[in-house]
A and B are shown apart, each in its own frame.
Chain A
């Protein structure tokens, strides 16, 4: 994660990357690739209270605070859910708790993924974002 890059900068980059794909299949394919390229998460970090339980997929989300910034790791049993987690890590990891808490994340709608927020699809995007922001909130109280 580049230190100087703002959340908005990364969001804009993602919007441009996804804009290349006209076909929804290719767009989802790219999302799945993001998941496949996600840095592996140590098995020891996949503990029960870091599991975002959903209806269809299981997502593990781990976070730590380093030098006032929050860093996330994730894994999932479904590539699609892992892709969503990877996308959010790409956007939010390496930022301060305040930046994470206040990020409006408008890029999701621009990419055309807004339906994923309302869907109960597990490992759903809304649950992942909620957990990331909750973690940031906890770290904020510790700084």
Chain B
């Protein structure tokens, strides 16, 4: 069990915060990369859904780790090892608190959302599914939340069912209800669509699963719900207990932390049931050639020396956004998105893909007669980073019968002025491409 203590690695709080709102120009000073130029133009970074930039508080925490604290954790008796073990485990506690998990040991450090999902899928394949069972996903899933389940289904002759979306890019909840059956073993859904920005009604979905008479199979037989939270965690307050999610996965780098680290939250009872995933140093109590006794949660799932600075950096990123306040962040980002959507809609031939009522700050669009790649290249030439293509959601893009989209995803460090430059750059690019 891990004590919940204050992180040792805390740095100055974000300077922009003042009385419930924040000063964007001050916040931008926390992000060194935002002052650089790209192709001779000031960088405008609208690819936040791919990865977020890092505040100096996170960068400094990583530098501090390597400059002052580096040691291997969990086993050393020396001072450095003990100190950094404490920092690392406090990082776990920070994340536990942030998503309101019941226990720190329900927080498993992984390499990212992808590994978190693969860990659960691997366990389900080994222990919980049999031929004829069913797994439900949605049409808007990222490939990372399709492929592990598809592979499992092929291996074990399990049926994959898909919740359709409507033209706005919202899940069709009534159709979802029809997909549930006594064979349903798992429902895996994204909290926020990385391509459309749609915020899915996760609480309602989980409640439908819990209350379905078809799925009441008694102790140990219930269907699990896994939420891919990669795109939600930078924008929304997530309370895994209120949601009643069995598993919740996210990546550090999308929430202003380092790459290569992520989280699998699992309810204790599920994590205890899941078989080992990868084993090795750190996952054991005792080893002999006859029998090995494995460690308790969470270490049973954390084989090898972990991404120590990743975990520490992630906790500092969480502290950073909490200093600003997720309410403030989502209000401001929503404002940016609404502003951009309104202006974009006025461009002739431009169509926004994904117009759900509940949206995070992601806007995908297409422009008549212009390939998304061409627009991406010309925007990049003007210093603007957007993402173009299928965004690892090929089934979703196929639904709209388009080759891909141009996606702008905003963070709290972006500004309306940047959006104005973005709009002019789009117009200039359209003129160049139609010349």
Pairwise interchain contact B389-A32, C-beta atoms closer than 8 A: no
Q: Which of A23, A24, A29, A56 contacts B373 (CB 8 A)?
A: A56
Pairwise interchain contact A78-B371, C-beta atoms closer than 8 A: yes
A27 CA to B381 CA, complexed, in Å:
9
B215 at the interface (CB under 8 A from A): no
Pairwise interchain contact A122-B373, C-beta atoms closer than 8 A: yes
Q: Which residue of A lies closest to B383 (CB)?
A: A24
Pairwise interchain contact B371-A57, C-beta atoms closer than 8 A: yes
A32 CA to B403 CA, complexed, in Å:
19
The CB with the most chain A CB atoms within 10 A, among B39, B373, B378, B428, is that of: B373
Pairwise interchain contact B373-A57, C-beta atoms closer than 8 A: yes
Pairwise interchain contact B371-A24, C-beta atoms closer than 8 A: no
B382 at the interface (CB under 8 A from A): yes
Instruction: Give every chain A residue within 8 A of B390 (Cβ-Cβ).
Output: 55-56
Q: Which residue of B lies closest to A55 (CB)?
A: B389
CB distance from B379 to the nearest CB of A (A): 9
Pairwise interchain contact B432-A32, C-beta atoms closer than 8 A: yes
Interface size on B, residues (CB 8 A): 20
Instruction: Give every chain A residue within 8 A of B428 (Cβ-Cβ).
Output: 25
Interface size on A, residues (CB 8 A): 18
A99 at the interface (CB under 8 A from B): no
Q: Which of B39, B374, B388 contacts A32 (CB 8 A)?
A: B374
A80 CA to B389 CA, complexed, in Å:
14
Instruction: Give every chain A residue within 8 A of B377 (Cβ-Cβ).
Output: 28, 80, 121
A79 CA to B434 CA, complexed, in Å:
10
A57 CA to B376 CA, complexed, in Å:
12
Pairwise interchain contact A80-B373, C-beta atoms closer than 8 A: yes
A56 CA to B407 CA, complexed, in Å:
13
A88 at the interface (CB under 8 A from B): no
B372 at the interface (CB under 8 A from A): yes
B421 at the interface (CB under 8 A from A): no
B279 at the interface (CB under 8 A from A): no
Q: Which residue of B lies closest to A122 (CB)?
A: B373
A50-97 interface (Cβ within 8 A of B)? 55-57, 77-81
B404 at the interface (CB under 8 A from A): yes
B390-434 interface (Cβ within 8 A of A)? 390, 403-404, 428, 432-433
Q: Supply 17 A–B pairs (Cβ within 8 Å), ascending by A.
A: A24-B40, A24-B380, A25-B39, A25-B378, A25-B428, A32-B432, A55-B389, A56-B372, A56-B373, A56-B388, A56-B389, A77-B371, A78-B372, A78-B373, A79-B374, A80-B371, A121-B377
- Besides A27-B381, A55-B390, 19 more A-B contacts (Cβ < 8 Å) are A25-B39, A25-B381, A25-B432, A28-B381, A29-B378, A29-B435, A32-B374, A32-B432, A32-B433, A55-B389, A56-B373, A56-B389, A56-B403, A57-B373, A57-B403, A77-B371, A121-B373, A121-B377, A123-B373
